[in-house]
Chain A
Amino acid sequence: QVQLQESGPGLVRPTETLSLTCTVSGGSLSDHYWGWIRQPPGKGLEWIGYIYYNGSPNYNRSLKSRATISVDTSKNRFSLELTSVTAADTAVYYCARERGSGWSFDYWGQGTLVTVSS
């Protein structure tokens, strides 16, 4: 059974960089896309971007090039960096696996709340 687990600071100061890691267990990164989705408190879901196991990311252009997703196959994990954060970036951040067909996400992490505040 594939499991995903997000990790990273729960509090980030405005203008700094948010950094999260998603560790995958029970399966390898191979042959899948791996993504990040966020959800502001009480609001809907926003796709941040995803990356194929061997590279080639795609991002939501609404983030204005602030997001970088990378993959480390040797450690079976992938990461998100979001620069120049503001309070609007406060959200629960989820990592997820694209199912391999259909371009939808079949395995999700439990989510981690990141608050941007001074």
Chain B
Amino acid sequence: DVQMTQSPSSVSASVGDRVTITCRASQGIGNWLAWYQQKPGKAPKLLIYTASSLQTGVPSRFRGSGSGTDFTLTISSLQPEDFATYYCQQANSFPYTFGQGTKLEIK
């Protein structure tokens, strides 16, 4: 199975900050990577698919990049509603696997 490792596991930041979350795959996955945002008690919400494509309705402050084994999610200017847990997911091979999550907290 492809192992997905996110870093950091948690990060504290302030409104207006720029934040970058990294996701590394244990083997090359092309650009078959998605990013999700999850708030407590809610289902995940798709932000980015195929590594850098912005899902409809998602603000442009969210940007995904990378290919192969190394990927990043950047939030350019944090808003209060962005504090949540973020997951990456690979879809290059079965079984699809998720990273362990990165919790973004208010500083």
User: Which chain B residues in 67-107 approach chain A with CB under 8 Å?
Assistant: 87, 89, 91, 94-101
Which residue of chain B is the closest to A60 with respect to CB atoms? B95
B62 lies within 8 A of chain A by Cβ:
no
Q: What class of interface size applies to chain B in its complex with A? A: 20 to 34
Contacts of B94 in A (CB 8 A): 58, 60-61
B45: which A residues are within 8 A, CB to CB?
108
Tell me if B's interface is mostly helix, strand, loop or mixed.
loop
Kindly specify which of A8-16, A21-29, A40-48, A78-86 makes contact with the partner chain.
A40-48
Residue interface mask A29-55, B partner, CB < 8 A = 1: 000000001000000111101000000
B87 touches A103 (CB 8 A): no
In the complex, are the beta carbons of B34 and A104 less than 8 A apart?
Answer: yes
Minimum CB–CB distance from B63 to chain A (whole Å) comes to: 16
Q: Which residues of A contact B (CB under 8 A)?
A: 37, 44-47, 49, 58-62, 94, 96, 99, 101-106, 108-111
